Amino acid sequence: MFTKILIANRGEIACRVIRSCRELGIRTVAVYSSADADAQHVRQADEAYCIGGPTPAESYLRGEAIIEVARQTGAQAIHPGYGFLSENADFADAVEAAGMAFIGPKAASMRKMGSKAGAKDLMAAAGVPVVPGYTGEDQAPAHLHAEADRIGYPLMIKAAHGGGGKGMRIVRDSNEFLAHLESCQREAKNAFGRDRVLLERYVERPRHIEIQVFGDEHGNTIHLNERECSAQRRYQKVLEESPSPFLTPALREEMGAAAVLAARAIDYVNAGTVEFIVGQDGSFFFMEINTRLQVEHPVTEFVAGLDLVAWQLQVAAGGALPLAQDAIRRDGHAIEVRLYAEDPEAGFLPGSGRLERLRLPLASEHVRVDSGVVEGDTVTIFYDPMIAKLIVHDIDRPRALARLRDALAQCEISGPKSNIPFLERLVRHPAVVEASIDTGYLDRHLDEFMPATETVDTDLLLAATVARLLGQEQHARAQAAGSTDPTSPWAIADGWRLGHGSRRSLAFGWRDQRLEVHASGSGGDYRIEHAGQAHDIRGARRVCSGLSLRIGERARRFEVLSPDSDAENHLVLHDGERRLRLQPMAMYRHEASGAGSVADNVTAPMPGRVVVVKAAAGDAVVAGQEVMVIEAMKMELSLKAPRDGTVAEVRAQAGDFVEADTILVALEPAVAQEPTP
C-alpha cells in the first residue's frame, strides 16, 4: 500500500479522499489555487502547495505542475477525484511516466470512453444494448440533419466529448434541428474544446440508472449494484438513491451483467460507472462509462457497507478486489442530495460569497455529510457552487425519505442563497415519494417545486414574531440584571413602552413583501395582530432551538434555525415541513419618492465570462430578446433586454471576464410619451 499520495482536486472530494487515507495511515499532499489558500482540503491535508491562479486553467488543470509537486514531495500516487483532470488520458499517462500510480483506470480505457461516439460503437460490438443513432465522422450540418431525419424524432444531440449535461439538446421537429445543432456545438466547443456531436433516439420519460463497477489488474470485474438518478434538472442530477425503486430483481441482474460486460470490453481497472437510460417498459440502453469515482458514490457505500476510496487505493497499489460478486451486499436504502449556493426561484442562478452561517446535521449511523467548507468559508465564483452532500440511510425507502426530510429541516445557510427549500419540496413531492419521476419531470413541471403561495404562512409568522419577542425580553432582562437599580420600572422586561402600553410593533421582509405585526403582552403570552386578524398566543417557551406555544386552542412546536446573535440579520423558523425566512426591518422608515422606471441597462448578474454577443450598437431590440450569453460557475446565463428599445452601446465582447453588476449592454434612454389630449 502507498504511504503518501497527492490529491489533484479540491473541495469535498479532496476532503473525502483525505478521510479514507487518514484511516489507512496514508499521508496526503494537497494542491490549491490562490483562491483556495484557506480551503478545508488545504487545512486537512498533511501538506499542501499552491500551483497557480484562481481559475481551473491556472491551477487544477495544470497537470505538469501537479506532477512536479508530487515528485518533489515523494508522493507515490495521484488521486484525481472527479472533474478537472480525472478523465484526462494524457494526464494519466504522464503520471505513470513520472513513476507514480494513477488512482483510476488506465489511459487506454479512458480513451476508448472519451468519445461518446466511439464508446457507443464499442459497446454495440461487445453486445451491450445501445440507443439507435449516428456517431459518424461527417459533421456537416446538412449531413447531420439528414441523419436526424433518418433516426426520427424526438432525438437528442450530444457533445461527443465531455459530460455534466453540457452540449445536449432535445429536438422534436426537423425544422428545429439546425438551430439546436448550432447551440449545442457552441456550448461543446466552449466547455470541452471540441464541437463534434452525435445523434441518438430520445427515449420518452426515461429513467436514469447507473451501475457501479470495479475492476483490478488480476482480471476480476464486478458490479456493486445500481443507483437511480432520475430526478434531474437540465441533465444535472439532484437526487440519487440506491437501490432503484424501479428495477425488478430480474432487470437488476440483467443490467448488472451488462455493466460488467461493458467494463470488460475496455479492460477496465479501478472504479467506474456504467450509465444506462431505461424506458418505461424496462428496455435499457448504454449511455456512457464515467471513468472515475462519481459524486453520488456515498449511496453505494452506505448500502454496500464499503469504502470505495479505500478500494481504489488498494487496486491502484496492485491489489486484488477485496470481495467477489456474490459477497456484495445490498442493505437498506440510501439517498443523496446536494446542497448548492444557488437561487432556484431565479432560474437556479449560482451564488457566491461568505458562508455567514452553515448549520448541517450531525453525522450518525443514519446521516452522512460530505462537505469541503465550514462556516466562515467562501463559495468562490471560480468553481462549482456545491456546499455539501447530504446522504441518509435506513432500512427501507420510506424511512430513508423520512430521515432525509428531518436532516434537511436541520440545515440552514446564510450568506449566499441556497437550494435547501427547493430540496425540501422535492423530497415531499408525489413524483419522488411514489418513485414515478423520470429524467424530464422536473423540467416539465418545475413550477410544482417552487413556492406555491404568495401569502405567508400565518403560524410560521406568528412563531417568528414570538421568537423575536422572547429574544427582546431576554436581552432586556440581561440589561436589567446589570442595572444599578434592578427594581426600577425602567428595568422591567414586560414590553411596556411610554405612551404605548405594552404594544410592540415589528416589521419583516419576506420575498419582496413587507410584513408588519403588532403585539401586546410579555413572558410568553401575547396578542398578535397581522393583516387585520388578531391571534392569542399562550405558553410560549424557548428551550435551545425549540419553540413551543399555543395558538388559540392549538399547540404547535417549531425549530428556530437562526442564532440569537444573528437576529438582526435574519430569522428562520421551521415547523417540520416548511421553513420561513424573514429579514427583520425597521418599523418606521422614509419612503423613497418617485416612481420606478424600467431599466435601461443589461448587467452581469454575477462574475463570469462572455460567451457570445447577440446585439450591436444601433440594433432595435424587444423586451425579453437575448442580447448576450455569459458563462459563470459552469453554466450559461442568458441575458435579455429589459424593454423595447435601441442598443446604445455594447461594453463587452466574447471572451471578456466581467464582474457582477457590470453594465454589458446599454439601451438608449426611453423617450417619455406625451399625454394624449
Residues with Cβ within 8 Å of 279's Cβ and at least 6 positions away in sequence, in order, are: 203, 204, 206, 207
Please indicate whether residue 669 or residue 559 has the higher confidence score (pLDDT): 559
DSSP 321-349: PSS-GGG----SEEEEEEEESEEGGGTSE
- Are residues 288 and 337 both part of a single domain? no
Q: If DSSP codes are grouped into helix, strand and coil, which group holds residue 231?
A: strand
Q: Is the pLDDT of residue 210 over 60?
A: yes
In a domain, 595, yes or no: no
One-letter amino acid at 655 equals: G
Cell of 47: 501538506
> What pLDDT does 591 receive?
44
Residue 267 phi/psi, 5-degree rounding, is 50, 50
Residue with C-alpha cell 420606478? 596
In a domain, 494, yes or no: no
> What pLDDT does 466 receive?
96
- Are residues 167 and 309 both part of a single domain? no
Residues with Cβ within 8 Å of 356's Cβ and at least 6 positions away in sequence, in order, are: 375, 376, 414, 415, 566, 569
In a domain, 484, yes or no: no
> What pLDDT does 162 receive?
67
Q: Where residue 486 falls among pLDDT bands split at 50, 70, 90?
A: low
Summarize the confidence of residues 84-106 as an average pLDDT.
97
Please indicate whether residue 207 or residue 482 has the higher confidence score (pLDDT): 207
- Are residues 218 and 336 both part of a single domain? no
Q: Where residue 489 falls among pLDDT bands split at 50, 70, 90?
A: low
> What pLDDT does 498 receive?
47
- Are residues 222 and 291 both part of a single domain? yes
> What pLDDT does 89 receive?
96
- Are residues 246 and 304 both part of a single domain? yes
Residues with Cβ within 8 Å of 298's Cβ and at least 6 positions away in sequence, in order, are: 334, 336, 368, 370, 389, 391
Distances in Å between the Cα of 209 and the Cα atoms of 34, 59, 230 are 38, 34, 7
Cell of 486: 434592578
Q: Of 301, 331, 361, at which residue does a domain stop?
A: 331
d(CA 561, CA 361): 12
Please indicate whether residue 657 or residue 102 has the higher confidence score (pLDDT): 102
Q: What is the CATH number of the domain that holds 555?
A: 3.30.700.30
Q: Is the pLDDT of residue 191 over 90?
A: no
Residues with Cβ within 8 Å of 355's Cβ and at least 6 positions away in sequence, in order, are: 373, 374, 375, 376, 377, 378, 379, 387, 413, 414, 415, 416
Q: Is the pLDDT of residue 483 over 70?
A: no
In a domain, 163, yes or no: yes
Q: Is the pLDDT of residue 590 over 50?
A: no
Q: Where residue 189 falls among pLDDT bands split at 50, 70, 90?
A: confident
pLDDT-wise least confident of 166-180, 330-344, 555-569? 555-569
Q: What is the CATH number of the domain that holds 239?
A: 3.30.470.20
- Are residues 528 and 661 both part of a single domain? no
Summarize the confidence of residues 344-360 as an average pLDDT.
90
Summarize the confidence of residues 145-152 as an average pLDDT.
95
Characterize the bridge pairing of strands 635-640 and 626-632: antiparallel
Q: Of 331, 361, 390, at which residue does a domain stop?
A: 331
Side-chain-side CA neighbours of residue 389 (13 Å): 24
Mean of the per-residue pLDDT values of the chain: 91
Summarize the confidence of residues 427-446 as an average pLDDT.
96
Picking from 469, 466, 461, 449, the residue whose alpha carbon sits closest to that of residue 575 is 461
Q: Where residue 164 falls among pLDDT bands split at 50, 70, 90?
A: low
Structural domain including 175 reads 133-201
> What pLDDT does 477 receive?
81
What is the H or E stretch that residue 405 is in?
A: helix 397-409
Summarize the confidence of residues 344-351 as an average pLDDT.
88
Q: Where do runs of H (alpha helix) occur along 244-325?
A: 249-265, 297-304, 308-316
Q: Where residue 596 falls among pLDDT bands split at 50, 70, 90?
A: very low
- Are residues 51 and 71 both part of a single domain? yes
Q: Where residue 566 falls among pLDDT bands split at 50, 70, 90?
A: low
- Are residues 417 and 464 both part of a single domain? no
Summarize the confidence of residues 100-129 as an average pLDDT.
90
Q: Is the pLDDT of residue 166 over 60?
A: yes
Please indicate whether residue 496 or residue 109 has the higher confidence score (pLDDT): 109
Summarize the confidence of residues 499-527 as an average pLDDT.
87
pLDDT digits (tens, 9 = 90+) for 16-71: 999 999 999 999 999 999 999 999 999 999 999 999 999 999 999 999 999 999 99
In a domain, 181, yes or no: yes
> What pLDDT does 495 receive?
52
- Are residues 398 and 534 both part of a single domain? no
Q: What is the CATH number of the domain that holds 627?
A: 2.40.50.100
Q: Where residue 482 falls among pLDDT bands split at 50, 70, 90?
A: low
Based on the structure, what is the number of domains in the chain? 6
Residues with Cβ within 8 Å of 218's Cβ and at least 6 positions away in sequence, in order, are: 320, 321
Residues with Cβ within 8 Å of 347's Cβ and at least 6 positions away in sequence, in order, are: none
Q: What is the CATH number of the domain that holds 85?
A: 3.40.50.20
In a domain, 108, yes or no: no
Contact 640, 624 (CB under 8 A): yes
Summarize the confidence of residues 413-432 as an average pLDDT.
96
Please indicate whether residue 135 or residue 377 has the higher confidence score (pLDDT): 377
Could you list the active site residues?
A: 292
Q: Is the pLDDT of residue 499 over 60?
A: no
Q: Is the pLDDT of residue 410 over 70?
A: yes
Residue 624 phi/psi, 5-degree rounding, is 90, -5
Residue 69: alpha-carbon gap to chain centroid: 31
Summarize the confidence of residues 338-344 as an average pLDDT.
95
Q: What percent of the chain has pLDDT over 70?
A: 93
Q: Is the pLDDT of residue 592 over 50?
A: no
Q: Where residue 671 falls among pLDDT bands split at 50, 70, 90?
A: low
Cell of 48: 499542501
Summarize the confidence of residues 487-509 as an average pLDDT.
65
Q: Where residue 597 falls among pLDDT bands split at 50, 70, 90?
A: very low
Q: Is the pLDDT of residue 394 over 70?
A: yes
- Are residues 308 and 367 both part of a single domain? no
In a domain, 490, yes or no: no
d(CA 603, CA 664): 5
- Using only the alpha carbons of the chain, give its radius of gyration: 28
Q: Is the pLDDT of residue 661 over 60?
A: yes
Q: What percent of the chain has pLDDT over 90?
A: 75
- Are residues 11 and 78 both part of a single domain? yes
In a domain, 236, yes or no: yes
Summarize the confidence of residues 168-188 as an average pLDDT.
93
Q: Of 443, 467, 490, at which residue does a domain stop?
A: 443
Q: What is the CATH number of the domain that holds 145?
A: 3.30.1490.20
- Are residues 429 and 350 both part of a single domain? yes
Please indicate whether residue 637 or residue 232 has the higher confidence score (pLDDT): 232
